[in-house]
């Protein structure tokens, strides 16, 4: 069931388009991430949904009701801002109770709801503590509890984890996701962090220059990006300009021909196509006595750089006319070192042909 629908939503600032004719349907009960680089329009689109920005044209509807001209305070949506916007002079309980008091909920019902939410965010022992004395993760939980206190029909999160350190950020990603699934509340989250989107979202909306570049499940977008922009923004990838040689053959920049299983993109002429292969799909093996393997789809090269993060390794391989990144582990390649001759095999099934980045 789809509750939120956007039709041709556009936002212009003078001659510039911040959001450019966006059509989108958000399924009920799912967590959807708006993902893209700074300036792509994702926060502006979220603010239009919230009623904090007015669309230049187009419609916003929720559960069949047109909300385009409905003010923010009458949309019954909860929102967590990037700054969290908690009241520093109030306690944890007072912050959570604030939206209930605006709605003039009775004192008994208010106290019961606040107690319920404090248990939900696992902070019942901090009800009377000033929010200024909380850690970053605790403040984050209080902001979410305040946003859902009045049982909104839609929860909007504007890069709420951007101020947290890396370890706490990853812990909060899981915590928010579990909380959203427990409540079953439809949630839209803005982020520029592809790892965050992959971890949390049921569906990702990738945005580029005010437009939607691709919508889909995280793994579908990672494995089958529709363009060079999406492939480059979602995860690490080897993206190479190639020439179509006819049939299932393509030529790499160094001139070597390889075989691919994928069909070229619909708008891909010879100069408009890129080869995508993810680092984990590059099969790297060390050369025996420096011998060159003449097998199909195999490139001979040398290790130029190694990124060692403990459990995994990323090796940069210089081949003739091509630089590749391959993912491996210390167990698979225990003696890997810079300058070592290696073979990089590009399996045909893992080679994707995608449309090249376009300027618009």
Question: Which pLDDT tens digit goes with each residue over 297-326?
Answer: 999 999 999 999 888 999 999 997 899 999
Nearest to 37 by CA among 200, 252, 193, 219: 193
Domain ends where: 223, 253, 272? 223
Sign of CA dihedral 233, 235, 239, 245: negative
Q: For 164-168, 221-225, 279-283, which range has the lowest pLDDT when averaged over its residues?
A: 164-168
Reported as type and span, the H/E element at residue 221 is: helix 218-223
User: Are residues 48 and 154 located together in one domain of the fold?
Assistant: yes
On whether residue 229 sits in a domain, the answer given is no
Domain that holds residue 49: 2-223
CB 131 within 8 A of CB 87: yes
On whether residue 299 sits in a domain, the answer given is yes
- The pLDDT tens digits of the residues spanning 177-214 come to 988 998 899 999 999 999 999 999 999 999 999 999 99
On whether residue 233 sits in a domain, the answer given is no
User: Are residues 285 and 197 located together in one domain of the fold?
Assistant: no
Mean of the pLDDT values across residues 110-115? 93
Nearest to 322 by CA among 251, 235, 236: 251
pLDDT band with cut points at 50, 70 and 90 for residue 160: confident
- DSSP string for residues in 247-284: TTEEE-TTS-EEE-SSPPPTT--GGGEEEEE-GGGSEE
User: Are residues 111 and 76 located together in one domain of the fold?
Assistant: yes
By the 10 Å C-beta count (0-12 exposed, 13-18 middle, 19+ buried), 324 is classed as buried
User: Are residues 72 and 151 located together in one domain of the fold?
Assistant: yes
Flag whether pLDDT at 100 surpasses 50.
Answer: yes
Phi/psi of residue 95, each to 5°?
-60, -45
User: Are residues 214 and 266 located together in one domain of the fold?
Assistant: no
Q: For 159-168, 198-207, 239-248, 334-343, which range has the lowest pLDDT when averaged over its residues?
A: 159-168
User: Are residues 124 and 198 located together in one domain of the fold?
Assistant: yes
User: Are residues 297 and 191 located together in one domain of the fold?
Assistant: no
The C-alpha atoms of residue 149 and residue 144 are separated, in whole angstroms, by 8
How many domains, the chain? 2
Mean of the pLDDT values across residues 170-181? 89
The rounded mean pLDDT for the chain is: 89
On whether residue 46 sits in a domain, the answer given is yes
Provide the pLDDT for residue 1.
53
Task: Name which residue leads in pLDDT, 255 or 66.
Answer: 66
- The pLDDT tens digits of the residues spanning 128-137 come to 999 989 988 8
On whether residue 201 sits in a domain, the answer given is yes
On whether residue 230 sits in a domain, the answer given is no
pLDDT band with cut points at 50, 70 and 90 for residue 270: very low
């Amino acid at each position: 069931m789809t509750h939120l629908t956007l039709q041709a939503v556009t936002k212009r600032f003078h001659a510039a388009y911040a959001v450019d004719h966006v059509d989108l349907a958000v399924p009920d009960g799912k967590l959807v991430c708006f993902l893209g680089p700074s300036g792509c329009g994702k926060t502006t689109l979220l603010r239009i949904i919230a009623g904090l920005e007015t669309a230049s044209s187009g419609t916003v509807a929720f559960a069949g009701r047109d909300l385009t001209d409905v003010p923010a305070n009458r949309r019954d949506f909860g929102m967590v801002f990037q700054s969290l916007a908690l009241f520093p002079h109030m306690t944890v309980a007072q912050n959570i109770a604030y939206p209930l008091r605006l709605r003039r909920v009775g004192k008994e019902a208010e106290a019961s709801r606040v107690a319920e939410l404090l248990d939900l965010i696992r902070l019942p022992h901090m009800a009377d503590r000033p929010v200024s004395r909380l850690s970053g993760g605790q403040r984050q939980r209080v902001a979410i509890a305040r946003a859902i206190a009045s049982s909104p029909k839609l929860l909007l999160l504007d890069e709420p984890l951007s101020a947290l350190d890396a370890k706490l950020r990853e812990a909060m990603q899981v915590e928010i996701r579990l909380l959203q699934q427990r409540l079953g509340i439809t949630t839209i989250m803005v982020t520029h962090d592809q790892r965050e989107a992959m971890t949390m979202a049921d569906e990702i909306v990738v945005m580029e220059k005010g437009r939607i570049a691709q919508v889909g499940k995280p793994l579908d977008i990672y494995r089958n990006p529709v363009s060079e922009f999406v492939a480059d923004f979602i995860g690490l990838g080897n993206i190479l300009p190639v020439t179509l040689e006819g049939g299932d053959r393509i030529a790499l920049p160094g001139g070597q021909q390889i075989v691919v299983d994928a069909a070229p993109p619909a708008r891909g002429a010879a100069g408009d196509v890129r080869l995508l292969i993810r680092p984990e799909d590059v099969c790297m093996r060390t050369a025996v006595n420096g011998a060159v393997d003449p097998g199909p789809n195999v490139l001979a090269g040398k290790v130029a750089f190694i990124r060692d993060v403990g459990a995994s390794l990323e090796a940069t391989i210089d081949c003739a006319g091509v630089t590749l990144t391959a993912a491996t582990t210390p167990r698979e390649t225990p003696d890997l070192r810079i300058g070592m001759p290696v073979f990089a095999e590009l399996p045909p099934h893992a080679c994707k042909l995608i449309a090249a980045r376009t300027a618009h």
